[in-house]
Amino acid sequence: MRKLAIVTATLLIAAGCANNTQQVTVSLHELYAGRDTIPAELYGQFSEHLGRCIYEGIWVGPESSIPNVDGYRIDVLEALRDIKIPVLRWPGGCFADEYHWMDGIGPKENRPMMVNNNWGGTVEDNSFGTHEFLNLCEMLGTEPYISGNVGSGTVEELAKWVEYMTAEEGTMADLRAANGRKEPWKVKYIGVGNESWGCGGDMTAQYYSDVFKRYALYARNYGETKLFKIACGASEADYDWTKTMMLNARGQMNGLSLHYYTVPGWDCDKGSATQFTEEEYYRTLTRTSGVDNILRKHIGIMDSLDPERKVALILDEWGTWFEVEPGFNKGHLYQQNTMRDAIVAALNLNIFPKYVQRLKMCNIAQVVNVLQAMILTDGPRMVLTPTYHVFRMFSVHHNAVVVPSSVKCGTIVSSDGETMPDFSVSASTKDGVIHVSMANPYLDKDVPVELSFDSLNPSVIKGEILSAPSVNAYNDFGKEPTVVPAAFDKAKATGNKVKLTLPAASVVMLEIR
Ligand code: AHR
């Protein structure tokens, strides 16, 4: 077991819940549930042609010695089914704006090789293309989200891609059928460019808003398909981008994206995924909690220009971004994943439901082998990360109704002066059951929690906890996993209350009736 290295004096100040005797209280207003549903898409995923995400992580090809079905590795497929991925974004990311979809259809031997210029210059054989991705989505029961090429592609290319995927008849439908797929796929989400302010074309918001309208206009609806068109949005706190897009193009878009990564390092060093100090731990958490403020401010701009909420906010990239693991290609963004990542995931997934009236999709980056991944592979071997377990635990919130809550807790201040609540919770109800997900971010403090209901005299049906021997513990290849969920039976119901103590650095899900 690795120990967390403490290299500096702790600069952490905790207020409000400053000692173990002071408890967190959460009022759960089950009588006021019913207004808002949590879209399953808030728990979405992102898959890019980057490093070993697609090739090796998902696709090994039918000839591989790694057990596969039609080229998709079976271990990964089965694990992904268990977290019930609601939506999967593909093929990028920055990759999307250099991807030419016609290179990835038809007989494999005729597909050209391509250099992945964004990500390490790796040469790809285009064996994973539109058919392979959309068939994967069908196998997973997942809604596809296609990210179209605006940076280096043409209007015609995107228009034809949509036609190829969704038209029932015509030249593109015939070509699709000749390539083995008669029926159109169901494709709803189309992204019109990615990071068009950077790797997707280096455009200004004003210029991109016109470009967006042109590309969006010719991406047509065919048959039953009603596209949901997502414009490239801001990075982090670029509120001017959001404002310009909303002023110039809100009538043409269904969604506007946002990217927010948790990069806790300073200068050029993003810090190690596994070797971090207590100070870096809390800085990671306050940084990730900053998404709350960022979401609120972008939504404020959208509310003022679109009070009827016709345009959704789509956080289509989020997650931790640390230094690449030693010995791996720096362009492949491969990082390990510890209990710290699990806490990050839980904090985010507890924040997103606050904004369901405007926020309709969130995609963590990325699903396999890249950044804050669910799954890591090493040739034929696979591990499930702590983040995977959080996504599996939180899947009970998919399409459930928000149970409003009010929380009394304290504040954590990290060494860079950023603050966050020292307790994290969200709750939902479905089929007569209430699920309450909680996280205790403290490294060294168990926190007593009292949940109280409006009128329900609850009983706790089930509890599950994710914790680890140390916060930088991770699941490694060829070893017994150290970060795995376990049953949690320490929540006790009396009257209209449930009481429990949340262990330090843990995530707990309770099922209450
Ligand atoms: O997720 C990795 C990269 O981060 C994506 O390709 C890009 O959109 C973002 O900058």
Tokens in use for 100? 């030419």
Please report the pLDDT score of residue 1 as a whole number: 30
**What is the structure's pLDDT at 16?**
34
Mean pLDDT of the chain: 94
449, 473, 510 from 25: Cα distances, Å: 6, 29, 15
- Who's near 356: CB < 8 A, 6+ residues apart? 36, 37, 38, 39, 42, 402
Q: Could you list the active site residues?
A: 195, 317
Domains of the chain, first to last: 5-35+403-512 (2.60.40.1180), 40-397 (3.20.20.80)
Bond prior to 71 in cis (omega within 30° of 0):
no
Residues 488, 464: Cα–Cα separation, whole Å: 5
Residues making up the chain, counted from first to last: 513
For 503, counting Cβ atoms within 10 Å of its Cβ (0-12 exposed, 13-18 middle, 19+ buried), the class is middle
Percentage of the chain exceeding pLDDT 70: 95
Report phi then psi at 161, rounded to 5: -65, -45
Are 55 and 76 spatial neighbours (Cβ–Cβ below 8 Å)? no
Measuring from atom 6 of ligand 1, which residue has the nearest CA? 93
Question: What distance in Å separates the CA atoms of residue 279 and residue 283, rounded to the nearest whole number?
Answer: 6
46 Cα to the center of ligand 1, angstroms: 10
Ligand 1 center from residue 145 Cα (angstroms): 15
Residue 215 pLDDT more than 90? yes
pLDDT score of 18: 37
The answer to whether the CB of 209 falls within 8 A of the CB of 196 is no
Q: Which amino acid is at 23?
A: Q
Backbone angles phi and psi of 140, in degrees to 5: -90, -5
Q: How far is CA 205 from CA 242, 301, 315, 316, 497, in A?
A: 8, 15, 18, 18, 50
Lowest mean pLDDT among 96-110, 182-196, 258-272, 477-491: 258-272
Residue 8 pLDDT > 80 = no
Share of the chain above pLDDT 90, in %: 93
Confidence category of residue 422, pLDDT binned at 50, 70, 90: very high
- Residue 508 CA to residue 513 CA, distance in Å, equals 16
Q: What is the pTM of this model?
A: 0.95
Mind giving me the DSSP string for 339-379?
Answer: HHHHHHHHHHHHHGGGGTTTEEEEEEE-SBSSSS-SEEEET
pLDDT of res. 424 = 98
Q: Which of 333, 198, 341 is nearest to 257 (CA)?
A: 198
Give the per-residue pLDDT at 267: 63
Say if CB 336 and CB 325 are below 8 A apart.
yes
- Which among 48, 89, 145, 324 is the best mutation to test ligand 1's pocket, defined by most ligand atoms within 8 Å of the CB? 48
Measured from the Cα of 94, ligand 1's closest atom is 6
Query: 386 in ligand 1 pocket by Cβ < 6 Å?
Result: no
Q: What is the mean pLDDT of residues 186-192?
A: 98
Ligand 1 atom 2: residue of nearest CA: 93
Query: From the CA of 490, how far away is ligand 1's center (Å)?
Result: 41
Check: CB of residue 393 under 8 Å from CB of residue 333.
Answer: no
Burial 67-103 (b: 16+ CB within 10 A, else e): ebeebbbebbeebbeebbbbbbbbbbbbbbbbbebbb
- Can you tell me which atom of ligand 1 is nearest the CA of 46? 1
Q: What is the mean pLDDT of residues 34-48?
A: 96
Q: Answer whether 363's CB lies under 8 Å from 145's CB.
A: yes
The verdict on the CB of residue 97 being under 6 Å from ligand 1 is: no
Residue indicated by tokens 């592609």 = 153
Residues paired with 25 in a beta bridge: 408, 450
Give the pLDDT band (50/70/90) at residue 282.
Answer: very high
What does the H/E/C string look like for 417-439? CCEEECCEEEEEEECCEEEEEEE
Burial letters 17-34, b for 16+ CB under 10 A, else e: beeeeebbbbebbbeebe
